[in-house]
Structure 1
Amino acid sequence: MNLKNKKAICIMSGGMDSTLGAYMVKKMGYEIIALHFNYGQRTQEKELSCFHKICDSIGASNRYVLDLDFFAQIGASALTDKSIEVPTGGVQKGVPVTYVPFRNGIFLSIAGALAEKEGAEIIAIGVVEEDSSGYPDCRESFIKSIEQSINLGTKEETKIQIYMPLVHLKKSQIVQHALGLNVPLENTWSCYKDEEMACGVCDSCRLRLNGFKLAGVKDPIEYQ
């Protein structure tokens, strides 16, 4: 298939998973249109800074940064409500308090509108089912249902595939794939708590550090 002028909307948080997903899409020959959301998360400024660095390194043809202030009003997540402590004690039962209600559903709906506007064929998202801390909106079945809904709710000629290449990977495999594609992991951020230096103890830092450990390489970012 000739991919010249084929466009992909890449939802990019500034984290390792979504960055690898975007690099995989780039390798497939797609033009990258980068999409980032500021939603009142604790590490918003750091994530945005990482996003712009990654866009520069990947050669994104366009980038969108959208501000979603309602997540803070909804609350119910330790990422958007500072009265809720970010857990640092390891594995929790059930859905963690860092889960942001229906975040990926909202992100993908907006990405669907952008894909229709831009004439993009795929939306890439870095969801990881097995290794994702138990978030319900990271499940493959959920993403497939959103894909169907986007195609039902857009123009007939709009045919969008949601590309989720990491959904069945472990963190160690993600690290290995990223190294193989020369992804600038030093420009990615995973910490839920802090922006200056990663805490090393929140769920996201633990998953990332364990992934690097199992992959047998050192994480290039600094930890407290």
Structure 2
Amino acid sequence: MSSKSTRKAICILSGGMDSTLASYIAKNDGYEIIAVHFNYGQRTQDRELKAFRDICDDLEILEKYEIDIPFFTQIGASALTDKTIDVPTGGVEAGVPITYVPFRNGIFLSITAAIAEKEGATAMYIGVVQEDSSGYPDCTDEFIADMKKAINQGTKKDTHIDILTPLVHLSKAQIVQEAMKLNVPLEHTWSCYKEEDEACGICDSCRLRLNGFKLANQIDPIKYKAL
């Protein structure tokens, strides 16, 4: 077996549309995928975990990590992890929205780097999207580049990890189109910030997703309450 066929990549897989497409791209790039999912006290934690497990089955991923991060609920400061703060439903806000979880992607990438070093992986895939990130500061090219530099400085000399962000400059409509090309099972993905049975259709994440499908002239295969 050639070394190329055994290249490993760690995919941060939330169960959402973006991270799922990024994982399919990693497989298409020829990597053996190890999937990582974080339970961090988010409102839709159980539903996201189900999506993660379904997608791992779809991708025939044999090795996966389900990591619990309880301190995000202790910190609060985000509508996703503090149930006393309402998830906004009035459209995308200006500036950094209340759904931003403080330094979430930085923490996710740090933990994933530890797994990558242990597993001998040379790549980490994360489905950050700069254009449709709702103003999140941890979804930019600059942030990812700085995290990559810090991770490689803070690991062993023979550890070399690339952080790949194949969706960072795509719009939601382009993400839908790319997912269709790769036969991504979008019916197994979950994007809603509020609900776990049927997607609400009105939170920022649902709005971005639905608009992406509309602009791509496709029908979203999941059920929505508000539609």
**Aligned CA-pair RMSD:** 0.8
Q: CA deviation at 1:2?
A: 5.3
**C-alpha separation in 2, matches of 1:207 and 1:4:** 36
Structure 1, unpaired ranges of 5+: none
Deviation per CA, 1:140-159, whole angstroms, max 9, x where unpaired?
10011000000000000100
What amino acid maps onto 2:88 in structure 1? Answer: P
Percent identical among aligned pairs is: 66
What secondary structure is seen at the aligned counterpart in 1 of 2:38? Answer: strand
Distance 2:25 2:176 in 1: 13
Q: Report deviation, 1:31.
A: 0.3
Give the distance between the partners of 1:2 and 1:153, measured in 2 at CA: 25
Task: Map 1:2-41; keep pairs closer than 5 Å.
Answer: 3-41=4-42
Q: Is 1:176 aligned with 2:165?
A: no
Per-residue CA deviations over 1:38-72 (Å, capped at 9, x if unaligned) read: 00000000000000000000111300000000000
Aligned equivalents of 1:3, 1:34: Cα separation in 2: 19
Q: Give the number of equivalent residue pairs.
A: 224
1:128 aligns with 2:129: yes
Would you say the 8 A contact 1:32–1:59 is kept in 2? Answer: no
1:21-170 correspondence runs (5 A): 21-170=22-171
d(CA) in 1 for partners of 2:15, 2:155: 28
Match of 2:192 in 1: 191
Q: Return 5+ residue gaps in structure 2 as ranges.
A: none
Q: Distance in 1 between matches of 2:3 and 2:210?
A: 39
Consecutive aligned runs of 4 or more in structure 1 exceeding 4 Å deviation: none
Q: Deviations over 1:76-124 (max 9, x none)?
A: 0000000000000002121000000000000000000000000001000
Looking at structure 2, the residues matched to 40 and 114 of structure 1 have their Cα atoms a distance apart, in angstroms, of 21
TM-score, normalised via structure 1 length: 0.99
Counterparts of 1:183 and 1:152, CA distance in 2: 35
CA distance in 1, matches of 2:92, 2:122: 37
Indicate conservation of the 8 Å contact 1:31/1:61, yes or no. Answer: no
